[in-house]
Amino acid sequence: MRNTLILILIFLSVHCNSQNVNYRITSKETSIGNLSVKKIEENNTIQIEVVSEVTVRLFITIDFKYKLNCTYKDKELIFSSVITYVNGRVHSTTTTKKDGEYYSITKNNHSSKYLNEINFPAALLYFVEPEGVTKIFSEFDGIAKPIKEIVKNKYQITNPKNGRLSEYLYRNGILESSINHHSLMTFTLTKI
């Protein structure tokens, strides 16, 4: 029995690779939350789960929570789901699903089609430096965003909806930090 259990554990460790990364979220050098990312890789499939929790004190206290689940198979996005919560209530939802030759995107009950392949979803940015990549697919927005390398290991993503820029810095192929410009504030992710 003991030998069988050891063989099963060895088999699982050979065929399933798991990785976790955690980030601190700050704004104006004040900690406002955290973000955790988990990647499970098995055969040609990658599952990524991102969870962030942020508390912002403006005129009132606002609690934001973001949950993303993504399945990436044979170098192509198969499915993603994003749910955001504000003060414990669902604020927005976006799902992207491979549907034959195109993707079905549903954002807050509005459906659309995306006709291009999705080879680099934004969830990969935590674990894969986007060398040579010219666009990423935002699972949250349901759109492609241009990305370019501005210096070695540092990339800039432009949101075509509002022109805001975000910067991503990599060390050893893993996201080390990012600066993100949101409508309410600028915030930084720093690997811990």
Q: What are phi and psi of 125, to 5 degrees?
A: -60, -25
Q: Does the pLDDT at position 165 exceed 80? A: yes
Average pLDDT over residues 13-34: 87
Average pLDDT over residues 158-165: 93
Q: Give the contacts of 145 (CB within 8 A, at least 6 positions apart).
A: 122, 135, 136, 137, 138, 157, 158, 159, 160
User: For residue 115, what pLDDT is reported?
Assistant: 95
User: For residue 10, what pLDDT is reported?
Assistant: 44
Q: Is the model more confident about 1 or about 52?
A: 52
User: For residue 100, what pLDDT is reported?
Assistant: 92
Mean of the per-residue pLDDT values for the chain?
A: 91
Name the E strands within the chain. Answer: 16-27, 30-42, 45-57, 61-73, 76-86, 89-99, 102-107, 110-114, 135-138, 143-151, 154-158, 165-171, 174-181, 186-191
